[in-house]
Copies of this chain bind each other. A is one copy, B any other.
Amino acid sequence: MELDPRSAGAEEGAPPVWRPSGLVTLTTDFGLQDPYVGIMKGVVHRACPGVTCIDLSHEIAPQDVATAGFFVAHSWNYFPVGTVHVAVVDPGVGSKRAILVAEEAGHAFLAPDNGLLDAVLGADAQVFTLDEDRFALPERSSTFHGRDVFAPAAGALAGGLAPAAAGEPRPGWLPSERDDPVRGVGTGGSIETEVVLVDRFGNLISGLDVGRLALDLGEWTVEAGGRLIPCAGTYTEVAPGEPLALVDSYGHLEVAVRDGDAARELNLGRGAVLTLRRRM
């Protein structure tokens, strides 16, 4: 009796079968003024003809590893199973920092071993250290491993190579606790969190995952910059120009101004403290 290879992943302890979707997402701090991102895509295509590359963001502030992690963590699950997610915010490029390759829920992830994937991977992730020498282009620079290492490895994964076959198990990998940056619970049951991201619209996105805390925003108001801000279900529940707090599309607590720019109009930015207070 022969094993059906398609069922191999179902066996106890067997690695899941890697079925690439042919998609690769790219998240970097390379910007779009230079050809760095385009060059990476060229190398991915050389390694995997027919692949489709999709940009998540390349306008992450230089070296901002945390935002790259936030973006990938809140995006990957909207892509088809079998997608390869590559994130290169890599202040340690050229040093001995390792590169991680991981698999979770049928998706593959590739990023420097610098904490970027801490907020992305969960308890079920399989995490490996990439065998860089096996994938690197013949002339490897010391400054652009996005092109010289990540891109050829991503192409190999998109072409069918399983993450587990791309390196050795990463020793000591522990899924992070992924504490929400809730800064403390004050007197009277108030909750403090902080702004982790200001988006294109000037929305102030906090680290507080509303669903995870099972909060009903209707029972709270938000204090930000000395101002009390009502919670609402959607932008149009307040008048144009008025601030509101709501659950945003990341599932996080967000302070916004309807048809306006909350960061500018409230003069708040990343790191600003938001305090939830129970309504009387």
Contacts and interface: CB of A to CB of B under 8 A. Distances in A.
Interface of A: 21, 23, 25, 27, 30-39, 41-43, 45-46, 49, 52-60, 62-63, 71, 74-75, 78-80, 83, 91-95, 141-144, 147-148, 199-201, 233-236, 246-249, 254, 259, 261
A199 B36 CA distance: 10
Contacts of A63: 259
A236 B143 CA distance: 10
Contact of A31 (B36, B39, B200, B246): B200
Copies of this chain, whole number? 3
23 contacts: A21-B45, A21-B49, A25-B38, A30-B200, A31-B201, A32-B55, A33-B199, A34-B71, A35-B74, A36-B199, A39-B56, A39-B74, A42-B54, A45-B52, A46-B80, A49-B80, A52-B52, A78-B147, A93-B234, A142-B233, A142-B234, A147-B249, A148-B249
Given A94-B236, A246-B142, A55 B80 contact: no
B248 A42 contact: no
Given A35-B57, A42-B79, 9 more contacts: A31-B200, A32-B32, A34-B199, A37-B55, A39-B75, A42-B54, A92-B236, A142-B246, A143-B234
B236 A95 contact: yes
A70 to B, nearest CB: 9
Contacts of A31: 199-201
Contacts of A55: 32, 37-38
Nearest to A96: B236
A36 B74 CA distance: 10
A70 B131 CA distance: 32
Given A94-B235, A143-B234, A234-B94, A58 B32 contact: yes
B32 A80 contact: no
Most buried by B among A34, A57, A247, A259: A34
